[in-house]
Amino acid sequence: MTLSNDPIDLRSDTVTRPSPAMRAMMAAAPVGDDQYGEDPSVNRLQARIADLLGKEAALFVPSGTMANQIAVKVLTRPGEEIVVAEEAHMMWHEAGAAAANSGVQFCVAGQGGRFSAEEFRAAVKPRGHIVFPPTALVAVENTHNLGGGIVFPQADAVAICAAAREAGIASYLDGARLFNASVASGRKPAELAAPFDLASVALSKGLGCPVGSVLAGRKALIAEAVTARRRFGGAMRQSGILAAAGLYALDHNIGRLADDHANARLIAERIAGIGGVVLDLATVETNIVIFRLAPDMPDAAAVVAAAKAEGILISALGPRTVRAVTHLDVGREACRRAGEVLAAIIARG
């Protein structure tokens, strides 16, 4: 619950708190020991997400990072390489987990979170070469967080995965914000996930749940993922209490993501024209606003501190890069106010 004197928290869409209705569903959830396959709420959530993503099976995991790390573990061997877009979450925000857990390295393709099939092919290193690390996996982030929440062009995803399959390379969709991509593009989650061997979605971002991600794919791959989850220590017991939040969110919190997108747009449009702000409105397709401060402006830390003093919480992603993320705990009025405050701070330079 947000009280009126609470700050307007736009640091991330992970800061949401479960609503009373979500909590009620969690409290009432039928549960069992999931390690015996006996948690009806987990089983229901997994079946629903598998269906939504058009995959044979799905697996509930504690976090998006674990979903990514299980995918990497299942689809690569040590010494191999993963092709990702610039600033991929997997490469920048998982504490080196892919190297630590699976012994793999990354190769970056394209710019700003996107890459084409041609750029993918150029990044691929063949198996059997005397010096190259063989490319085992290509991972696409949709939406792309550090790219400003952009929707990955579906035609590129289809072409990249087709090229990967032809080359014997696996494909993975990091869909922590796939429902945002779906709502923004008007494409069903199953269509967005279709080209990929494995796909994940987060429940703890825009959907407003306290915990959880779900990984989906063919039965045989999900069976391997079950083992990897156990190895990573992510196998849970009466996790139906958490899965119930996901079931609630699937029914109530997807369509409303359009409001978050409109609110991000409102903030972006308020500040985009101001001198010293570098912000391409074309990148504001969903619930994330990333802008850069020109060299003659205060730096990101100064803008974040000034905003905080006025009750607006945002993040400094880099020395001159600022991010604001909208979500279900900040309404239209709060976002209008955030836009006004940011505009005033930036205009005073």
Of 93 and 252, which CB lies nearer to ligand PLP in the complex structure? 93
Of 34 and 141, which CB lies nearer to ligand PLP in the complex structure? 141
Of 181 and 279, which CB lies nearer to ligand PLP in the complex structure? 181
Of 202 and 236, which CB lies nearer to ligand PLP in the complex structure? 202
- Work out whether 89 is an interface residue with ligand PLP (CB under 6 A): yes
CB of 150 to ligand PLP, least distance (A): 12
* Binding residues for ligand PLP, total number by CB under 6 A: 12
3-state secondary structure 136-177: EEEEEECCECCCCCECCCHHHHHHHHHHHHHCCCEEEEEECC
Query: Which residue in 80, 81, 141, 156 binds ligand PLP (CB under 6 A)?
Result: 141
Question: Is 125 exposed, middle or buried, given 0-12, 13-18 or 19+ CB atoms closer than 10 A?
Answer: middle
CB-based closest residue to ligand PLP: 64
d(CA 261, CA 149): 10
d(CA 237, CA 124): 40
User: Count of residues for the chain?
Assistant: 349
Helix, strand, coil tally for the chain in percent (to 5): 45, 20, 40
Of 145 and 263, which CB lies nearer to ligand PLP in the complex structure? 145
What contacts 118, CB < 8 A, 6 or more positions away?
Answer: none
- The candidate with the shortest Cα–Cα distance to 70, out of 255, 233, 265, is 233
**Residue 81 CA: distances (Å) to CA of 90, 107, 132, 252:** 13, 7, 9, 39
Of 29 and 202, which CB lies nearer to ligand PLP in the complex structure? 202
CB of 200 to ligand PLP, least distance (A): 8
Of 257 and 341, which CB lies nearer to ligand PLP in the complex structure? 257
In our burial notation (b when 16+ CB lie closer than 10 A, e otherwise), range 175-186 reads: bbbbbbbbbbbe
Q: Which of residues 39-78 bind ligand PLP (CB under 6 A)?
A: 63-65, 68
**Residue 138 CA: distances (Å) to CA of 65, 115, 163, 173, 176:** 16, 11, 10, 9, 16
Q: Which of residues 192-211 bind ligand PLP (CB under 6 A)?
A: 202, 204
* Sheet strand arrangement including 288-293: 277-278, 288-293, 321-325, 315-318
CB of 232 to ligand PLP, least distance (A): 12
Q: Which of residues 149-178 bind ligand PLP (CB under 6 A)?
A: 174, 176
CB of 205 to ligand PLP, least distance (A): 6
CB of 230 to ligand PLP, least distance (A): 18
CB of 114 to ligand PLP, least distance (A): 14
d(CA 95, CA 98): 9
- The candidate with the shortest Cα–Cα distance to 216, out of 51, 75, 40, is 51
CB of 343 to ligand PLP, least distance (A): 27
Q: Which of residues 209-248 bind ligand PLP (CB under 6 A)?
A: 213
Question: Is 46 exposed, middle or buried, given 0-12, 13-18 or 19+ CB atoms closer than 10 A?
Answer: buried
CB of 50 to ligand PLP, least distance (A): 20
Q: Which tokens go with 280?
A: 């391409």
Q: Which tokens go with 190?
A: 């199953």
Of 15 and 220, which CB lies nearer to ligand PLP in the complex structure? 15
Of 39 and 141, which CB lies nearer to ligand PLP in the complex structure? 141
CB of 132 to ligand PLP, least distance (A): 27
Q: Which residues in this chain contact ligand PLP in the complex, by CB under 6 A?
A: 63-65, 68, 89, 141, 145, 174, 176, 202, 204, 213
